Each structure stands twice: as structure tokens, then as C-alpha cells.
Chain A
Amino acid sequence: MTSVAEPRGSALDALEENAKPRTRRSSRGPRPRRRIGDVLLHGYTWLVILWLSLPIWVMIVFSFNNPRGRYNTTWVGFTTKFWSTELFAYQDLTNALVASLWIAVVSTIVTTILGTMVGIALGKYRFRGQGSFNLLLFAVISAPEIVLGAALLSLFTTINTGLGYITILIAHVMFSLAFVAIVVRARVLTLDPSIEDAARDLGASSWTTFRRVTFPMIFPGILSGALLAFVLSIDDYVVTSFTSGNVVTFPLWIYGVSKLGLPPQADVMGTIIFALGLLIALTNGIVSKRRAR
């Protein structure tokens, strides 16, 4: 694997710097002194989370703004009308949101299946062409989005297909696949092969071994990959803008209108998406806390 630690050297260092008597300790470190460091790190984490979500708070606040016209850039007054009666006033915006969700779900499913298969193949087996395939994955990830989009557009133009839902799906699956494959592969690499051997020794067929032993073990990796694929798809702008034809997804609509002024409905929908995600996170947190008990 990777480099192994050198306890001896560090012990010498420790003796040199600071000849304090040390008692046995757990991996958490000595209790009283280190608490401050822990607390600082904890606080730092929350600070960064706050910084990351700062624009979201602005968005939430502006979803309650009441501009008289189109531009929602200065605070005018409080209202909830964009949450209720006026929410679907912009038919195009609603359609765009639905389109994005639909595409993201389908793309995630396809990408997860294909990417998991690739990840397993690369992680479990040794075969010819493995190195080249790794290179290919690497190339897909390092290709800038604008290059991917333009290349796909020229392909679709050459073979004369119409641009639309299918081409967007193709594009999304293409660039998400590599990410999922790498995540799953990383997880597969950590598997202990002796467990699978044990299952086979006990008479399980390959398929059963996969279904009841391998799959549950790599499931967290698959789940992370799926989550990543979903986020990549629902928020993609650049590649989608090249391959969308007449279909308008949520990011495309937002970007197009943002130049003139985002209506409050856009902020409302963004808030709703955020709230849904928050709900999932909280549920997950509670569930895992329960499990830990």
C-alpha cells in the first residue's frame, strides 16, 4: 500500500522536544489539553459550513422579496406570494425544473449501473487493457467541460441527430460514468478477497457471492457514486448548453435569465431544493445516530 509510519523517529523527536511523562492513552489523545484543539477544529468545521451555505441564505431571504417588476436585486418588501399563488407563474421555469429532475434521475440510474460495473471490473480483476482503460477514465475527468460539450456537439451534428433529452442524457452519463467508476473502484480495492473466497468455499455460486457478499460491502461506494452522479447531472450547465437543443433545464433557464434578473420564483425553487436536501441530511443523521446506539 502506501508508506508506513516510523514510530521510532517520532519517539526520539518527542523525547528531544519535551520530556513529559506520558501515560498510556487511547487514540483520542490526552484528555484535558487536546480538548481545545478539538473544539477549535469543530468550530472551524461549522464556520466553513456556514461560509459554504452563505449564498443559500441570501437566496432564501430574497425568495420572500416583493419586487414590483422583474429584477430581484434590491430588497423591497416582504411577501409570501411567490411561495403560494405565484409560484408557477413562470411556466418555463417549472418545466425546466421538472426536466432537470427527470434527467438527473434517469442519468443517475444509468450511470450508477454502468459505472459500478466498470469500477468492479477495474478493481477486482487484472486484465489486458486495464491500464489503457484507467487512462481513458483519467482523460474523461481531466477534459474540461467546455471541450466535452463542443466535442459532443460536433459528433451529434455529424451523425445528424436532433438535440434534445436523449443527447443531454448521453452527455450526462458520459461525464458522470468516470466519477462513479473511480469511486466504486476505490471501494472495491479495499475489499478483503478472503471473505469472497470463504463464501465460495461454502458453496455459493458467483452470482450469489456477488449478491450477498460483495454487493453489500461495496454498497457505500455505489451510493456515494450515485449521489455524485445526481449532483453532477442536476447542476450541469456547460455540457448541457451545448447538447440541449430546445430542451431547457433548470441551470440553463437560470443562467439565461440571470443576465436580466432572476424572478423570486427561482429563489423559491432553489430554497425548496435546498430544504428537501436538508431534510434528507437530518433524517440520515438521526438514523445513523440511532444505529450507533
Chain B
Amino acid sequence: MTEQRVDPALLRGLSGRRIDRRDIFKIAGLGAAVSAAAACGVKGQATGSASQAPDQVQKFWAGKSAGPTVAFANWPLYMDPSHPELKKFTAQTGMAVTYKEVINDDPTWFAKIQPQLAAKKSIGYDLMVMTNGVEFEECIELGFYAPLDHSKMPNYTANAAPKYKNEAFDKGNVYSVPWASGITGIGYNPKYIKTPPTSLEDLLNTAYKGKIGMMSDTQEIGNFGMMATGSNPETSTPDDWKKAADWLTKQRNSGVVRKYYDQDYISALSNGDIWMCMAWSGDIFQQNASAGTNLQFVIPSDGGTLWTDNMTIPITAANPVGAMQLINFFYDPKIAASLAEYINYITPVPASQPIITSDAAAATGEDKAALEQVAKSPLVFPSESDYSKLHYYRDFKTPAEHSQYQAVFNPIVTS
């Protein structure tokens, strides 16, 4: 840092520029302009209505033909890692499938795709799987989903169970068809719990203080709270929500809840950190198969939740025709059976059950036992009486409703 003689003219020039304050002011001004533009750019686009006229379907599919690849975004562990089904699809149609397990939860996925879909840009996928719920509703309202052409999926029409052909959250399956469904019920470890739980009230049992796990998703606990206080979640009102929240708060204050889990309750349940928890049917099944544990699952008498992960096509998909063919392919009973044997959640294709049974008969050893379990499991093929106890999540008609719901249930989980 040697001192240098500076030309006075230069010094004048330099001292004229107060780099610090003026530039920051300019930047602030620029930033304000940017954010004003941002305010314009973050405008939502609530366009589509829930159902679309047949000519809308025509309009979307007109002139489209299949491309060489299909990009498929899905949740983790929803397909055998060696992708046997996808290989069969490629052999049959010549289209390659890029399969990425990038969806971990709906809110984060929605936050990721929303900017690009709102700008009518491609998200890089032709097919994606989303759960029925808030984000699903928002996608419909914002016009993010392409309407499905039912004429292109005869397998679905032929093989899907009637229950999956007219769901409350997507009447007429305009935008989606199920990939797999699951039940949220009560999982427990018989090593520590001698009398099996039968109803939601068992989740309040202070004998198991600090040993009960609940989920952190507000839709899940909201449903449980509502069913425990006698309301039907699908038609519930804000008053029902408050009653449910009171029930949940009572549970929380009594100290029985150890933690509100995302989806990682399963290891806590297996190693004894918790003895009983809200659980998804397939997780219990899989943990038993993985580690030989003996965890049990019950659908409470006062109700359990049924949710469905659905295949949808984003409106900016590069190869929607290929995606439709893939959807149709997955509803072939043999393929559906192959998927169910790995996923172990509820398959929408009942015809896959006899196929799994015959696969079990043909297999030997460990595989045989595993497949037999799948074929017989009420967690993969529930009975009608099981279904009668199950409810969907609450649909929200407006974002304001959703905010209200969140405001009621969020404090229970984040405090």
C-alpha cells in the first residue's frame, strides 16, 4: 500500500463519485423496479374450471403425435429400481422412458413446478404423480394439467375398479388417473402394545405417554381430528375444524405425542422410540418385509383416510401422446400386478390380484412368501367394508379456505 502522487484532476473525478451511497440508492431503485415487475410476474393465472368440455380435450390433443422419449417424474420407491415395466414398455412401443424420483412431497413439488408452468414453459417431464389435495386442486385451477383423452386409454376404462373412476377430487377423471392409493391408519408395535388399538381414541391413551407418533401434514392430522370428533372431513366446516383442532391440542398437551413426523416414523416405530403412530399402510408392509419386524396396521373404527397418488400430464409436456400410452400401459393387469408386487400399496386394478396369486404359486422360498403376503393383504386389496370407513381429504374451493384451514391446524405442529 504505497502512497502515490495523484493528479488532482483525477482526484476530483474520483471524489465526485460517492460510490457507497449513490450506487446503493441506484440499486435500490433498480430493485424496486425489478420487484414491481416481480409483482406483475408473480401473478397467478386462475384460468381453467374444474371440468372441461370435450372440445377442450380435442383442442389439446389435435395434431399431436408421439415423440421418442417419455420423461416420468415420480415419488421414491414407487417402482422397482431395475424398471422392468419400463423396459417392457420400450420393447413394445420403441419409446424410451426417463424415470426420475424427484417428488418427495406435494407442496415442495408444486413450489418447484409452479413458476415454470405459470410461464407456460416445460418442466422437463411428460408425466408426473401427485396426491389428491391442496396442490392438486391448485394445479387444476391454474390450468397446469392437460385434460386426458380417455379414448387413448382403453386399459383404464376396462380394468380400473369402479371406485377409481369417479373420485370426488377429479370427477370423471378429467385430469388424472390413479397410480396407487394408500390408507392412513394406526400402526403399532405388538411388542409394546398388548391390546390392539381399535379407534382413534386410542391415540389419546396416556398409558403410552411420549410413545405416540403423529404426522406433521395438516391434512392428515386434520382428517384424524375430524373423524375423531365425529365429522366427515370431505364435507367439514370451519367449526368442525376447530373441534378437531381442540381434540388434537388436547392430545398434544397431555404429553402422549413424542413427535410430529414427516414420513420417517417407520424407523422410530421399529426400534421402539414410539409404540403407536399414524401410519401409511404400505410403509408398515414394507418395513415388515425389509427387516422382518411384526408391525401391525389397523383401520380405526371411527375412520381412516384414503388418499390417491395420481398420474397427471403437465400442460407443457413435450410428449403427451407418449405419456398417454404409458398411462394406458400401466393399466394392463400384468403390469399392474408387477407394480403392486413392489409398491405394496393399493392398486387400482383388481384384476392384478389373481395374477399375483399365480406368481406366488410359481415362485419359491422367500419370494413366494412375500408374494403370497401381497396377494392376500387387505392393505393392497382392501375389502368393501374397509373402504366404507375411509374418507378423503377436504377439498378447498378457494385459497382463502386453505389459509383458514392451515391457520387452524398449523399451530399444533409448529410450536
Direct contact of A and B (CB under 8 A): yes
Is the beta-carbon distance between A259 and B100 smaller than 8 angstroms?
Answer: no
Taking CB atoms and an 8 Å cut-off, the chain B residues in 22-46 that contact chain A are 23-24, 34-35, 37-38, 41-42
A259 contacts across to B, CB distance below 8 A: 104, 262-264
Tell me which residues across on chain B come within 8 A of A274, comparing CB atoms. none
Known: A68-B366, A124-B1. A89 touches B81 (CB 8 A): yes
Chain B contributes a number of interface residues (CB within 8 A of A) equal to: 50
Q: Contacts A73-B291, A246-B123 known; A257 to B82 CB distance under 8 Å?
A: no
Whether, in the assembled complex, A13 has its beta carbon less than 8 Å from a beta carbon of chain B, the answer is no
> Are B37 and A69 in contact, CB atoms less than 8 angstroms apart?
no
Tell whether, in the assembled complex, residue A162 and residue B116 are in contact, meaning their CB atoms are under 8 Å apart: yes
Additional 8 contacts, C-beta under 8 A, given A90-B81, A256-B76: A67-B290, A92-B100, A245-B112, A245-B116, A259-B104, A259-B264, A260-B266, A261-B290
Total residue contacts A-B, CB cutoff 8 A? 117
A245 CA to B119 CA in the complex, in Å?
14
Q: Can you report 15 A-B residue pairs in the complex whose CB atoms are below 8 A from each other?
A: A68-B290, A69-B286, A70-B290, A71-B266, A71-B287, A128-B20, A131-B20, A132-B19, A154-B38, A157-B38, A158-B38, A158-B42, A160-B41, A162-B116, A256-B76
Q: How far is the CA of A70 from the CA of B291 in the complex (A)?
A: 9
> Is the pair A128, B270 in contact by a Cβ cutoff of 8 Å?
no
B253 CB within 8 Å of chain A: no
For residues 66 through 102 of chain B, which have their beta carbon under 8 Å from a beta carbon of chain A? 73, 76-77, 81-82, 99-102
Question: In this assembly, does B169 line the interface, its C-beta being within 8 Å of a C-beta of chain A?
Answer: no
Which chain A residue has the least Cβ–Cβ distance from B101? A92
Q: Once the chains are docked, how many angstroms separate the CA of A91 from the CA of B42?
A: 36
The answer to whether A160 and B119 have CB atoms under 8 Å apart is yes
Which of A68, A246, A256 has the most chain B CB atoms inside 10 A of its CB?
Answer: A246
Q: Chain A residue with minimal CB distance to B370? A: A68
Instruction: Tell yes or no: B125 within 8 A of A by CB.
Output: yes
Q: Is B107 an interface residue (CB 8 A)?
A: no
Roughly how many angstroms separate A158 CA and B32 CA in the complex, as a whole number? 13
- CA distance in complex: A255, B108 (Å): 13
A168 to chain B, nearest CB (A): 13
Please name all residues of chain A whose beta carbon is closer than 8 Å to the beta carbon of B293 when the two chains form the complex: 74
Interface residues of A (CB under 8 A from B): 67-71, 73-74, 76, 89-92, 124-126, 128-129, 131-132, 153-154, 156-158, 160, 162-163, 193, 197, 241, 245-246, 248, 255-261
CA distance A259 to B104 in the complex (A): 9
Contact with B20, one of A91, A125, A129, A261 (Cβ below 8 angstroms): A129
- Contact of B263 with A260 in the complex, beta carbons under 8 Å: yes
Residue of A nearest to B18 (CB): A128
Chain A residues in 8 Å Cβ range of B18: 128
> Which 4 A-B pairs give the minimum distances between C-beta atoms?
A69-B290, A129-B19, A256-B104, A259-B263
> Bound state CA distance, A255 and B105, in angstroms?
12
Q: In the bound complex, what is the Cα–Cα distance between A71 and B263 (angstroms)?
A: 13
Q: When chains A and B are docked, how far (Å) is the Cα of A197 from the Cα of B19?
A: 30
A-side contacts of B262, CB under 8 Å: 259
Point out the residues of chain A lying under 8 angstroms from B34, CB to CB: 158
For residue A81, give the distance in angstroms from its CB to the closest CB of chain B.
Answer: 14
Q: Return B286 CB to nearest CB of chain A, in Å.
A: 5
The answer to whether B270 and A74 have CB atoms under 8 Å apart is yes
Contact with A along B276-291 (1 / 0, CB 8 A): 0000000100110111
- Report chain B residues within 8 Å CB of A248: 100, 102
**Proximity bits, B115-145, A CB within 8 Å = 1, else 0:** 1100101011100000000000000000000
Nearest B residue (CB) for A136 = B24
B14 at interface (Cβ–Cβ under 8 A)? yes
Min CB gap A265→B, angstroms: 9
Q: Are A71 and B267 in contact (CB under 8 A)?
A: yes
Q: What CA separation (Å) do A188 and B376 show in the bound complex?
A: 72
Give complex CA distance A162, B99 in Å.
Answer: 20
Question: Are B290 and A162 in touch, CB under 8 angstroms?
Answer: no
Q: Which B residues lie within 8 Å of A73 (CB)? A: 266-267, 270-271, 291
Residue contact B14 to A128, C-beta cutoff 8 Å: yes
Question: When A256-B101, A256-B104 are in contact, do A158 and B37 touch as well, CB less than 8 Å?
Answer: yes
Contacts of A132 in B (CB 8 A): 19-20, 24
> Are A74 and B271 interface neighbours, CB within 8 A?
yes
Digitize B201-238: 1 where CB-to-A-CB distance is under 8 Å, 0 elsewhere: 00000000000000000000000000000000000000
Select from chain A the residue with minimum beta-carbon distance to B100. Answer: A92
For residue A159, give the distance in angstroms from its CB to the closest CB of chain B.
Answer: 8
Give which listed residue, B20, B73, B112, contacts A163 with CB less than 8 A: B112
Chain B residues numbered 235-286 whose CB sits less than 8 Å from any CB in chain A? 262-264, 266-267, 270-271, 283, 286
- Report the separation of the CA atoms of residues A245 and B262 in the bound assembly, to the nearest whole angstrom: 22
Q: Are B291 and A76 neighbours in the complex by a CB distance under 8 Å?
A: yes
Assess whether B76 is in contact with A157, with CB atoms less than 8 Å apart: no
By a CB distance below 8 angstroms, the chain A residues around B38 are 154, 157-158
A239 to chain B, nearest CB (A): 14
The answer on a CB contact under 8 Å between B102 and A246 is: yes
B54 within 8 A of A: no
| Contacting residues, chain B, for A154 (C-beta < 8 A) | 38, 42
Quote the shortest CB–CB distance from A121 to chain B (angstroms): 12
> How far is A7 from B100 in the complex, measured between Cα atoms in Å?
67
Which of A67, A70, A158, A163 is B41 in contact with, Cβ under 8 Å?
A: A158
Give the CA-CA distance A129 to B14 in the complex, in Å. Answer: 12
Q: Are B2 and A71 in contact (CB under 8 A)?
A: no
Residue from B18, B38, B366 with most neighbouring chain A CB atoms (10 Å): B38
Q: A158-B41, A248-B100 are contacts. A68–B292 as well, Cβ < 8 Å?
A: yes
In the assembled complex, the CB of A15 is this many whole angstroms from the nearest CB of chain B, namely 44
> Which residues from chain B contact A128 at a C-beta distance below 8 Å?
14, 17-20
Min CB gap B121→A, angstroms: 6
Provide the residues of chain A in CB contact with B20, threshold 8 Å: 128-129, 131-132
Considering only CB atoms, which chain A residue lies closest to B290 in the complex? A69
Q: Mark B1-24, 1 if CB is under 8 A from A, else 0.
A: 110000000000010011110011
- Complex CA distance for A131 and B112, rounded to whole angstroms: 38
Contacts of A124 in B (CB 8 A): 1
**Closest approach, in angstroms, between the C-beta of B25 and any C-beta of chain A?**
12
A245 CB to nearest B CB, Å: 7
Q: How far is the CB of A124 from chain B (nearest CB, A)?
A: 7
Q: Is the CB of A260 within 8 A of B77?
A: yes
Whether B41 lies near A157 (C-beta < 8 A) is yes
By beta carbon, the residue of chain A nearest B23 is A129
CB distance from B291 to the nearest CB of A (A): 5
